[in-house]
Chains A and B, each alone.
Chain A
Amino acid sequence: MSEHLVFMLQLVISGIAVGGVYSLMALGFVLIFKASSVVNFGPGELVLFGAYVSWATILQMKLPLLVAFPITLAVAVLLGIVIERGVLRPLIGEPIISVIMVTFGFASVIRGFLNLTWGSDTRPFPVLFSPEPFRVGAVAVSPVHLWSFLGVMLLLGAFSLFFRWSVTGMAMRATADNQQVAQSLGVSVKWIFALSWCIATGVSTLGGIILGSVRGGVDFSLAELGLKVFPVVILGGLDSVAGAIIGGVLIGVLENLSGGYLDPILGGGVKEVAPFVALVVILMLRPHGFFGKVEIERV
């Protein structure tokens, strides 16, 4: 293989791996938006929370992994319930700016709380997979990337099945479609709201664990990564689970390719801004994304 092709494939592969995590975060975002039309502007803080709690349970309390993961997930689900009950329930029916601001508010509380408890130093994350990359032809693939991607795909597959076949999943789709009709068919909309937050925090926590092990450490820069969720969901459509999955991978690849090819020309940092440039372009051309529901509305 030519050197050029290897370079490109390398970028694409690590892009897909990171993109898988974006898909996870976007899945949480889309679930919340679908069920309750709340836009979560603090997805990064949820990821950060998951990463720190798993770090604390694994390395600080030295629990075995099989105990630590369920505990982490349970804490995350609890956080989801607290946010939904305490913060968002009172704001049902308020203007959108209030809902946006309140998500900034609880994100800030989570950040402050984490900083207060564990400080802002970078914490080494437990090495879950061997760091030795293996080679497929000339392209090096690190096991962390491979496993995280497989894990993400497994999860996303499980969620698709859940939405397609399980009663709860159907109830969630029904709520997303039309709250009143769902309620009249006996779906507890309140419960669905709470559940969507629990799933979102749970999924973000998994994202945090994966990101932590991919980067080998957790610190507050993880939270900034959370904002990448917006290009993803705009690309895929705010209310589309499939869109979130595909969008995540696409944005991951896009940012890696643009970073790899444009950084030498433009001088660094392109990776951070390329997804947002894509966001603006998509918003102007196709505001509902590629898989989202088209809303006809006069502005």
Chain B
Amino acid sequence: MKCGGFRVSYRSDERMFDTRLPVIALVIFLVVFAFVPRFAGTYWLDVLNRIGIAVIGALGLNILVGFTGQISIGHAAFLAVGAYATAILELNAGLPFYLAIPLAALLTSAFGLVFGIPSLRLKGLYLAIATLAAHFITTYGIIHWERMTKGVLGLMVPPATIFGLPLDSDARIFYLIFALAVPAVLFTKNLFRTKVGRAFIAIRDRDVAASVMGVSLYRYKLLAFVISSFYAGVAGGLMAHHSRILFPDAFTLLVAIDYLAMVIIGGMGSILGSIFGAVFMTLLPEILKLTATSLTGIYPQAFGAIASARDIVFGLAVIFFLTFEPQGLARIWVRMRSYWTLWPYSY
């Protein structure tokens, strides 16, 4: 039983996993996960796929907001750039998806670099407002660059094809999404064992102190925007292949707020938290839908009320977590775990 850390070398201090148990659990989880499409129905596969995409997006935002402390309300714009860039690269340049998605992610990174420039002069609330403006300018561009994006008419995306096999069903795209989501989680976990990750955290905790210690704010703030938007680019590219049709309406400000809520509810500055947040925010409307379906017998209008019920529950959840559990679901998880590891002597 593990009851504390006893580390005598830097190597053990920097290890990704403290004990062997999480590695084994992870492998078992992945193996089980690989068989999910065999027994899960289309509905739950679709939900899982959306969770996978949200995990990548939320990780990206958490790196920026939770780990580096740069507030961004423009994450939906990053997703949109990633999604549209993927689609346009495939449709107009005829690239296969395995080249289009990385290229689109790089493009989104370049976009994030520009987005991040205000962060060199502004912070906190002013940065939030600047990213808000950038969001509106980006969506305007997407709606009105009709030659490429088809504007509000919607852009059809062909299914991703690998070795002649079209990834056109939920089960097939599932493997693509999780083949990217799992490395994304591991990469993030690794990022915070490196110099770059520690520089991010130093900037979040006190920017002036970080710069005194030799962390170049200029470089690392922009790097945070670049990495964060790379994730968003990948998530956007997957969105393009998952929904197969892109509308500017899929990337409204509310989407950006949803992603911020994932980070807050899951836990700021926590990788596990990003996963929890993505699961929570994706399941919330589904659970409301299921509740509404079961309620239609007694309350026939239940189905029409889903959208507003979602808004209310979402808002209350955000307020609740910020007030009572600012470190989110990840903190609750840690507390539960330490309760059970010490059981029956927990306090």
Contacts and interface: CB of A to CB of B under 8 A. Distances in A.
Given A98-B322, A299-B217, A272 B136 contact: yes
A287 B71 contact: no
B327 to A, nearest CB: 11
Interface stretch (B34-42, B125-133, B177-185, B230-238): B125-133
Given A230-B129, A283-B126, A112 B311 contact: yes
B315 A115 contact: no
B122 A104 contact: no
A109 B133 contact: no
Given A96-B124, A109-B315, A273-B137, A268 B322 contact: no
A39 to B, nearest CB: 5
Contact of A280 (B124, B134, B312): B134
A91 B322 CA distance: 8
Interface string B310-347: 11111111110011001000000000000000000000
A124 interface: no
A280 B115 CA distance: 11
A147 interface: no
A110 B312 CA distance: 7
A298 B253 CA distance: 30
Interface stretch (B88-96, B100-108, B159-167, B301-309): B301-309
Given A276-B133, A279-B133, A108 B207 contact: no
B264 interface: yes
Contacts, number: 139
Q: In the complex, which range does the number of interface residues on chain A fall in?
A: 35 or more
A106 interface: yes
B311 A101 contact: no
Given A111-B311, A112-B308, A116-B312, A276 B137 contact: yes
B257 A97 contact: no
A273 to B, nearest CB: 4
Contacts of B311: 108-109, 111-112, 115
A79 to B, nearest CB: 14
A277 interface: yes
Interface string A106-131: 11111111111000000000000000
A110 B311 CA distance: 8
Contacts of A87: 319, 323
Nearest to B204: A95
Contacts of B123: 297, 299
B305 A116 contact: yes
Interface in A199-241: 227, 230-231, 234, 238
B323 A109 contact: no
A100 interface: yes
Best-buried of A91, A111, A230, A299 by chain B (most CB within 10 Å) = A299
B312 A104 contact: no
Interface in B244-269: 253, 257, 260-261, 264, 268
A105 B73 CA distance: 14
A85 to B, nearest CB: 12
Interface residues of B, number: 50
Contacts of A114: 308
Contacts of A96: 71, 124-125, 128
B222 to A, nearest CB: 13
A97 B268 contact: yes
Given A98-B322, A104-B318, A269-B144, A112 B310 contact: yes
A87 to B, nearest CB: 6
A283 B118 contact: yes
B122 A283 contact: yes
A284 interface: yes
A64 interface: no
Given A97-B268, A272-B136, A283 B129 contact: yes
A269 B140 contact: yes
B195 interface: no
B143 interface: yes
A94 interface: yes
Interface string B133-172: 1101100100110100000000000000000000000000
A6 B309 CA distance: 48
Contacts of A110: 315
B215 to A, nearest CB: 13
Given A105-B316, A107-B315, A280-B134, A116 B308 contact: yes
A125 B203 CA distance: 51
Contacts of B129: 230, 234, 279, 283
A267 interface: yes
A105 B318 contact: yes
B208 interface: yes
A297 B143 CA distance: 38
A39 B146 CA distance: 35
A23 B309 CA distance: 32
A268 B146 CA distance: 12
B126 A100 contact: no
Contacts of A298: 208
Given A104-B257, A280-B134, A115 B122 contact: no
A238 B128 CA distance: 14
20 contacts: A91-B322, A100-B71, A102-B319, A104-B260, A105-B315, A105-B322, A107-B315, A109-B316, A110-B315, A112-B311, A116-B308, A227-B132, A227-B253, A230-B133, A267-B144, A269-B140, A272-B136, A280-B134, A283-B129, A297-B123
Given A112-B313, A115-B307, 6 more contacts: A100-B73, A100-B125, A106-B315, A109-B312, A276-B133, A287-B122
Interface of B: 65, 69, 71, 73, 118, 120-126, 128-130, 132-134, 136-137, 140, 143-144, 146, 207-208, 217, 253, 257, 260-261, 264, 268, 305, 307-319, 322-323, 326
The 4 lowest CB-CB distance pairs between A and B, nearest first, are A112-B311, A108-B315, A105-B318, A109-B315
